[in-house]
Structure 1
Amino acid sequence: MKDEELSGRLREAAGAHRPDRARMLARIERGMAGGAQAPRSVRPPRAVRPWLRVAGATAAVCGVLAAGAFAVTSAGDDDRARGGQVASAPSPAASTPAARDELRPEDGPLWTGGVVDPHSNAYWAQSNVTLRTTEPLSALTVELRVALTGGVNSTGSWRSLPEPDFTVSVNESGGYLVYRWTLRAGRTVPAGTHTFAGQYNHAEGDRDATGDYVTAHAVRASGGKASVGDHFRRPR
């Protein structure tokens, strides 16, 4: 066979040949399996469907909210573990001396009440304290507290019990004009009804005395203590 004829047949055979890609790739993979692992092919990202984007955003928001709730709960648990509490401002009633004394008008044999004398006027007033005891008292301290509203200043005081039996003081303390009657040592308050009164000037007008109050602390001659108190009321 001539060279020209052979060359022609080879070209025809080459043109008609169709390579088997599957076998070629299999051979290449088998050849590379013995060496370094072939890198994975990188696929172009698919377009994200709209509903997937919405679901993803919702999941992210839920995650943020859950994390915030966990942080708040954890902070509260830490405070409880440390015994810490959020401090609140005390109510006005709890901060007044009257509330601290836990006023009650009756205790055992002792009772007290306070009222503004009906003869008070637009410039001057008298606060009357009534004290009743069914037993003799070997010790007694009565305190009348008049709130320092406009123009309040003392003009005197008195009591129905003998004057030599008591020491008396008047001073300003904690926003009040304080009248204090203290039974002297060795003296006794007999059973009965007794009166203590404080007198004072005030600014012109009808003074509101609901912030005033009285307390009494006593020791019974037979033994035992008693404490009473009362807020003032307007005269009837």
Structure 2
Amino acid sequence: MDDKLRERLRTAAEAHRPDRERMLARVERGMAEGPSARTPPGPLPLLRVAGATVAVCGVLAVGAYAVTSAGGGQTRGGQVAASPVPSASAPAVPGRVPELRTEDGPLWAAGAVDPHSNAYWAQSNVTLRTTQPLSSLTVELRIAQTGGVNTTGSWRSLPERDFTVSAQQKGGFLVYRWTLKPGRTVPVGTHMFAGQYNHAEGDRRADGDYFTANAARSTGQRVSVGDDFTSDH
């Protein structure tokens, strides 16, 4: 009879997962109250002891589980399964380079990483050629944030006073923007816009870099071109 009771207690303790604080409170309250005057004779006192024992076993089981969890894993065959170590955060991956065309009407464009770039610094060149004067022009150069990409300046071959220039981190890119001021004109010819930047040490890939140029002819007709930096030009 004792063996069967012990087996039942052991089985119940292994299967039960009570709330630890609640079970401790129930055990302490039962010990403080003592035997009830209404408790009838017979096997019920034994069941009461058994219930208290199950509660204590459950509390011990919960305590062991809590200690194991605090150690960073579950015990399996006497070994502790270590929690997975989070991987180092990687730079945000920008979106896919859009479909671009390098020629539209009188406007042609190409993009290339300057050959004087090195393991810490780079310059991306945008070359535009127009066979007609342009009454408006916005050139936007996007350098993918591959790690440590920060602006160090920019320039253009056209007069500085003719353009407003900005550089900002946006959407996983360092974005340069040159906008022709109202009333100014881009003459016929070949012109260059360049963005300069630091980057994480190493041979930086320019797969995610690209630029766009949107312009209007003197007739008002709009044209747009663009290119990426993965091809030799």
User: What interval of TM-score do these two structures reach, taking the shorter chain for normalisation?
Assistant: 0.5 to 0.7
Identity of aligned residues (%): 72
Say if 1:140 and 1:97 are closer, same or farther in 2 by CA, change over 3 A: farther
Q: Take 2:140 and 2:104, find their aligned partners in 1: how far apart are those partners?
A: 16
Residue 201 of structure 1: aligned partner = 198
CA spacing shift, 1:235–1:108, aligned 2, 3 Å = closer
CA distance in 1, matches of 2:155, 2:128: 14
* Aligned partner of 2:154 among 151, 154, 157: 157
8 Å Cα contact 1:118-1:235 kept in structure 2? no
Aligned to 1:211: 208
Please give the per-residue CA displacement for 1:185-221, whole angstroms capped at 9, x wherever unaligned: 0000001100000000001111001210010000001
Counterpart of 1:96?
Answer: 95
Partner of 2:171: 174
The structure with the larger Rg is 1
Out of 120, 125, 130, the position equivalent to 1:128 is: 125
The 8 Å contact of residues 123 and 202 in structure 1, kept in 2 or not, is answered as: yes
Call closer, same or farther: CA 1:104–1:179 in 2, change over 3 Å.
same
Amino acid at match of 2:182: A
**CA–CA distance in 2 between the matches of 1:166 and 1:129?**
15
CA shift in 2, pair 1:97/1:181, >3 Å: farther
Contact 2:140 2:176 in 1 (8 A): yes
2:145 alignment partner, one of 148, 159, 164: 148
Task: Indicate the residue corresponding to 1:187 in structure 2.
Answer: 184
Give matches, 1:19-38, under 5 Å.
Answer: none
- In structure 2, the CA distance between the partners of 1:163 and 1:97, relative to structure 1 (3 Å rule), is farther
Q: 1:228 to 1:235 in 2, by over 3 A?
A: closer
Inter-partner Cα distance in structure 2 for 1:96 and 1:189: 31
Q: Residues 116 and 234 of structure 1 are in contact (CA less than 8 Å); yes or no, is this contact kept in structure 2?
A: no
Gaps in structure 2 of 5+ consecutive residues: 1-93
How far is 1:234 from its partner? 6.1
Q: Is the 8 A contact 1:114 1:128 kept in 2?
A: yes
Match of 2:221 in 1: 224
Contact 1:146 1:213 in 2 (8 A): yes
Count of matched residue pairs: 140
Match of 2:109 among 109, 112, 117: 112
Deviation at 1:222, TM superposition (A): 2.5
User: In 1, Cα distance between the equivalents of 2:148 and 2:203?
Assistant: 12
Contact 2:96/2:208, CA 8 A, preserved across alignment: no
SS for the counterpart of 2:119 is: coil
CA distance in 1, matches of 2:232, 2:101: 20
Partner SS, residue 197 of structure 2: strand
Q: Which amino acid aligns with 2:97?
A: A
Matched position secondary structure for 1:164: helix
Q: How has the CA–CA distance of structure 1 residues 105 and 111 changed in structure 2, closer, same or farther, with 3 Å as cutoff?
A: same
Deviations 1:73-122 (A, max 9, x none): xxxxxxxxxxxxxxxxxxxxxx93632xx311110001111100000000
Larger relative helix fraction = 1
User: Gapped runs of 5+ residues in structure 1?
Assistant: 1-94
TM-score (norm 2): 0.58
Q: TM-score, normalization: structure 1?
A: 0.57
4+ residue segments displaced more than 4 Å: none
